Structures are given as structure tokens and as C-alpha cells.
Amino acid sequence: MVDPVAARAQKGRGAISNPDGRFEAARRIAVDDGWPRPEEDDPPPRATTLTVDASRTIIARNESPDIPFEQSINPYRGCEHGCVYCYARPSHGYLGLSAGLDFETRLFFKPEAARLLRTELSRPGYRPRPIALGSNTDPYQPIERRLRVTRQILEVLAAHRHPLTIVTKSAAVTRDIDILAPMARQRLAKVYVSITTLDPELARRLEPRASSPRLRLAAIGELAAAGVQTGVMTAPIIPALTDHEIESLLEAAAAAGATSAGYTVLRLPFELKDLFREWLETHAPLRASHVLSRVAGLRGGKLNDPRFGSRLTGEGEDARLIAARVRRACDRLGLGRNDWALDTSLFRVPAAPSPQLDLF
């Protein structure tokens, strides 16, 4: 009999299902009664929908001690890349939506981002600190080509010499080299390209609408050739699925031009635990129990550990081994030797709108 979960997998989408959000008052549960279903009863493939995010502020402040930035901007909510392991998926629950297919098909964008940013940078007492783009959802997901929200943010930051970092799984970041390269020459910009695996087939199933590993490596090379300080994030490392690639992935990134590296291990908060289990049972059924067992081994026997200090890198012998492998590979490849801090001293406060204009 055909597995009803596998039968629902959609081409180009990471999540297998669309469970109700954890804040919903009721839950819907699909039941297979064993009777064959006519094909016309299957739901049509999900199209991506866009909704305006009318947020009145644009800079988010971070107080987490294990994240190396104080400020971030997310031009989009939800992400069409569809990475099944994305820790941001549960955030869609705050919108009354699912962490599953809703997260990668029901997207929100911030058309006023540039104006809001300019206003916040001009506020009295604002202290310039590097702003991270891509801390939650990818700033270069496919809709950026048309909406250009990220580019408009970059234009504001460049105009006022404000430092930034970018983390992305998209080669589309190279479209903004004309902004990033001059900023990098002033130590105002760094880019980190996130690569999970070098296996194109595995990447297609794990992160179906992100750029292929080959294109991401090419993007590192193009950014580096333009003088942009570029690093690689091996994120997330998935035990028993991608951890065997740690050294080869770092070698490929260094050969492409990366000068620094970072990593995280898989974490599965809230609804993500069930979504990732579904994905494993569909795409890697023979490894499913082993992968989940290894993940639990990093988290004190649970599939998630939200504690600061261990949530990004895990704990235990397996976590120590991963950390040692990354550290030794980086030392051997020179990743991190040419790293430098961003410069906040060049920041220029945007001119406030003149109230005299109201007289005209």
C-alpha cells in the first residue's frame, strides 16, 4: 500500500504536511481509512502567496548570549526555499499559520522596510552596531528578485555607512555585489553563504528551492573575487545524514574563496520535530531512527534543547567531536586567519525630514 504521507509530498516543497499551528484552538488530523482515493481528490500543488507585512519597526534586537549580533532585519516572513530543517518554521504559528507548507508558501514582505530603517537610524541615541540580514528567514529567497526589499535595505545602509552581515543559501546575493563590494572595502559588509551538503540530490530534497551547492560555491568565488569578505556556514550539520561531509564541505568553500567558517548542529524546536521526522520517513526511511537517535544524543536525550550555550552546537561526546573536526579543518585550511571586525565608526546619521516642508 502506498504510504499516505509519501503520497502527499509535493515537488519543490520541503515539508510533507501542513499541521495546524500550536496556538490554534482545534487540530485537524488526516486519517487513512484504507480505501483508494481517486486522483481528483488530491489537493492541487500549492502556489506561493504574498501578503504585505505592515510592521511599524524594522530592526529586531537580540539579547541571546550565543548569537554574535545585537541587531537584525528580516525583510520577509516565511521562506520559499523550503528547507525542511529550518528553525524559523515555528514562527509562522504567531501568524495563525502552519510551520509546514504554510511557512514556505504563505509569505509576508515588508515594502516599507527602507523607509522604516531610515527612520530608526535617525532616532536620537541610536548606536550603530552591525545589522544581520538573514537571521531568521533568507533575505535572498526567490521573491527578492521581483520585490527587491533586501536591495532597498542595502541601499540605505550603504548610503549611511552602516555595517551589516548577510547569511544566505542563495547565489542571488551576487546581484548586489555593486553595493556590497564598496561597503566591504570600508569594512562595512560581510557575507556568509550557508551550505548544508555538497550532494545535489540530497540538497534538492532538504532545501528544494535554495540554490544548488555548486551555485553557492560559485557565489562564494564571485563575492571573494569582488573583495567581499566571505565565509561559509556549514549549517545545520545533521548527524548520520550530512556530518560525514564536514571536512570536504569546508575544503570546497576554502577553495572557492571563503576566508572564515561557522557551523550549527540541527535543532528541532516545537512543530519542527514532527515535520523533520515526516521528512525522514519519506525521503530517508532506513536512516530515520538512527538520525533522530543521534540528534537526541546531542540534546541530552531530547530532540531539542533550548538552553543558551548548547542549543546551537549541542553537548556530549558527539558534539565535542563535531566541534573538534570543524576546528581542525579550519586551522588546516586557514579559515579565520584573515577575518576582521566590521567598522562602526563611519556611520552617518540620516538627515531628519525638515518640518518646514509642511508649510508648502
Residue 7 is assigned to a structural domain of this protein: no
pLDDT for the residue 2: 40
Task: Please list the residues that pair with 52 across neighbouring strands.
Answer: 109
Render pLDDT for 13-55 as a digit per residue (tens, 0 to 9): 999 999 987 877 666 666 666 766 655 555 667 899 999 999 9
Checking if the pLDDT of 95 tops 80, the result is yes
CB 272 within 8 A of CB 280: no
Residue 31 is assigned to a structural domain of this protein: no
- Strands 60-61 and 71-73, sheet pairing: antiparallel
Residue 244 is assigned to a structural domain of this protein: yes
Judged by average pLDDT, the poorest of 90-94, 214-218, 349-353 is: 349-353
Residue 6 is assigned to a structural domain of this protein: no
Cell of 143: 521573491
Task: State how many domains the chain has.
Answer: 1
Checking if the pLDDT of 153 tops 80, the result is yes
Residue 350 is assigned to a structural domain of this protein: no
pLDDT for the residue 231: 97
Checking if the pLDDT of 300 tops 70, the result is yes
pLDDT band at residue 247 under the 50/70/90 scheme: very high
| More confidently predicted of 325 and 42 | 325
Residue 30 is assigned to a structural domain of this protein: no
Checking if the pLDDT of 360 tops 50, the result is no
- Which of left, alpha, beta for 190 (phi over 0: left; psi -120 to 50: alpha)? beta
Residue 192 is assigned to a structural domain of this protein: yes
Number of neighbouring beta carbons within 10 Å of residue 38:
6
Burial code of 74-84, b = ≥16 C-beta within 10 A, e = fewer? bbbbbbbbbbb
* Euclidean distance between CA atoms 255 and 232, whole angstroms: 11
What residues make up the domain containing 324? Answer: 51-343
Number of neighbouring beta carbons within 10 Å of residue 164:
23
Can you give the pTM of this predicted structure? 0.91
CB 313 within 8 A of CB 67: no
Checking if the pLDDT of 150 tops 90, the result is yes
Checking if the pLDDT of 283 tops 70, the result is yes
Q: What CATH number is given to the structural domain containing 291?
A: 3.80.30.30
pLDDT band at residue 358 under the 50/70/90 scheme: very low
Look at residues 229, 219, 224, 153 and name the one whose alpha carbon lies nearest to residue 191: 229
Q: What are phi and psi of 317, to 5 degrees?
A: -65, -40
Residue 335 is assigned to a structural domain of this protein: yes
Coil, strand or helix at 265: strand
